[in-house]
Amino acid sequence: MDHRTPAPAPDRRRAVRGRLPLVLALALLGGGCTGGVEGTPGAAGLRDPYFPGLGNGGYDVTHYGLELDVDPAADRLRGTATITARATQDLSAFHLDLAGLEVAGATVEGRPAAVNRAGRELTLRPASAVEDRLREGRTFTVVVRYSGSPETVTDPDGSKEGWLRTADGAVALGEPAGSMAWFPGNHHPSDKATYDIGITVPEGLAGISNGELVSRRTANGRTAYRWRAAEPMASYLVTVAVGRFTTRESVTPDGIRLFTAVDPRSAAASADVLARIPEVLAWSAKRFGPYPFTSAGAIVERAGDSSYALETQNRPVFPGPPDTALLVHELAHQWFGNSVTPASWRDMWLNEGFATYAEWLWAADHEGVPVRESFEAAYADDANWAFPPAEPPTAAELSEPPVYGRGAMAVHRVRLAMNDDRAFFALIKGWTSAHRHANASTDDFTAHVEEETGQDLAALWDAWLYGGSRPPTGAGEP
């Protein structure tokens, strides 16, 4: 996601949570007790370089069905999560990430499952009668019923994620771990899934989410919205926005369904920029390859409801009316971050470096600012040299300038090394095509570039991705 205020200055992501508890499943289950189910417990974390307890092992989620009943006046959420997953090992138990909220009960394959809660880890121990469905390679279904007042998570730099209360409702923003504040799941970017999301809200309010609007029905003073995201999505890119919105639906000349939801207080100031969404998508497709989703759009809150923008899949969330540069940045993330999703949070520069470079390309094509000038401005900014973009020191630095500015400089150094713009943009299109709706790492990217160019670019990577100091502008050229 991108956490920027809607101003011409470069966006700065918020810092991210530094540590989540890593709970050992065997300890939770009392040694090796499996309740008669063969197999071993799935891991309570995926050992991400910055968030070792985030995510869970032993299974891969393929689909989430979320039914959410939201009462903003009472600050209450009632939810039912139906999770379809495939076992990647023989499982006796497995974990789900969930922050706060009270779990009323859970089933696995329709049978009640024992639930153990330890901080932000739920451990589900299914009945022995379903053990065959938990063997490696088998698909199984989990249902969790829960309720409560969702958490607003405060990050180390003071910015907030999770469930954010707004003047007339709430907005859910989830990078890197805030999505666990409102639904249980496997909340690491490496486990992408499709989603069906139902949101029931008081009549007069809207419930906006990702993907395409399937239905909207009002009865007995409540309105139920149903959304479907048919392409895989990382959980940090899922959003829910509840409030009073002016909505608009249309279709681009390329057949992409657009849905925008704008707080009435932001509508007039947003209109001109949002009208450029089809233009920005078409321009981006020429440079990065076909748009990877069937729908697009935006959610614009009133200023102050959140402090940053986020590239939530299909329709980014903006904290007030965006400028064109911010729109370009967030829509570029639909390719870089949303379709091609980082394998771990160490790879976040692949999201932000490319989205920042998209701003430079737009400025060159539409504002008469050569990419060279944008590069030189970033090169001269001392903030971009605080640490290597591919190796932030801690989770608190994942949102700092080097991930954006120096990441974009690394992309431009690849372009200079190739010395062929047509080949460079073909390489980028090949990258987005090869990893469409999948995950990729920094190593994947550097290998892709070297394979496509036939060049050994170790000096370039050392200088611009991993170096500890500012290299001469000529450094990194083969």
CB atoms within 10 A of CB 111: 12
Contacts of 375 (CB under 8 A, 6+ apart): 360, 408, 409, 412
Rounded alpha-carbon distances, angstroms, from residue 289 to 102, 281, 315: 44, 10, 19
How many other CB atoms are there within 10 angstroms of residue 19's CB atom? 12
Q: What does the mean pLDDT of the chain come to?
A: 91
- Report pLDDT for 379: 97
Q: What is the largest CA-CA distance in the chain?
A: 69
SS3 content of the chain, % helix, strand, coil (to 5): 30, 30, 40
Does residue 172 register a pLDDT over 50? yes
**pLDDT computed for residue 159 by the predictor:** 77
41 contacts 25 by C-beta, under 8 angstroms? yes
What is the structure's pLDDT at 477?
55
Rounded mean pLDDT, 32-47: 73
- Model confidence band, residue 274 (pLDDT cutoffs 50, 70, 90): very high
User: Does residue 246 carry a pLDDT above 50?
Assistant: yes
For the chain, what is the total number of helices (H) and then of strands (E)?
A: 11, 23
pLDDT, tens digit (0-9, with 9 covering 90-100), for 3-23: 443 333 333 333 333 333 333
The fraction of the chain above a pLDDT of 70, given in percent, is 91
pLDDT per position as a tens digit, 209-233: 999 999 999 999 999 999 999 999 9
Rounded to 10°, the helix 349-366/277-288 angle is: 110
The pTM of the whole model exceeds 0.95: no
CB 170 within 8 A of CB 242: yes
How large is the angle between the packed helices 371-380 and 407-418, nearest 10 degrees? 130
Determine contact, residues 105/81, Cβ cutoff 8 Å.
no
CA distance 113 to 424: 53
Hunting for tokens 């992309």 — which residue is that? 411
In which band, very low, low, confident or very high, does the pLDDT at 266 lie, cut at 50, 70 and 90?
very high
429-433, long-range: CB within 8 Å, 24+ apart, which pairs? 429/287, 429/288, 429/289, 431/340, 432/288, 432/289, 432/292, 432/335, 432/336, 432/339, 432/340, 433/289
Q: Which residues contact 176 (CB under 8 A, 6 or more apart)?
A: 16, 17, 50, 51, 54, 189, 236, 345, 395, 398
- pLDDT of residue 358 exceeding 60: yes
Mean pLDDT, range 462-476, rounded to an integer: 88
Q: How far apart are CA 10 and CA 21, in angstroms?
A: 33
Amino acid sitting at position 404: Y
Distance between CA atoms of residues 345 and 160, nearest Å: 18
From CA 474, how far away is CA 116, in angstroms rounded?
57
Report the SS3 class of residue 287: helix
121-125 sheet: strands from edge to edge: 40-41, 91-97, 121-125, 114-118
Please state the separation of Cα 120 from the chain's center in Å: 19
What confidence tier does 337 reach under pLDDT thresholds 50, 70, 90? very high
pLDDT per residue over 408-424, tens digit each? 999 999 999 999 999 99
Report, as an integer, the average pLDDT of 99-116.
97
CB 124 within 8 A of CB 96: yes
Does 407 score more than 50 pLDDT? Answer: yes
Q: Lowest-pLDDT range, 31-40, 191-200, 314-323, 389-398?
A: 31-40
> Do residues 353 and 445 lie in contact, with contact meaning Cβ atoms separated by under 8 Å?
no
**Which residue did the predictor score with more confidence, 359 or 27?**
359
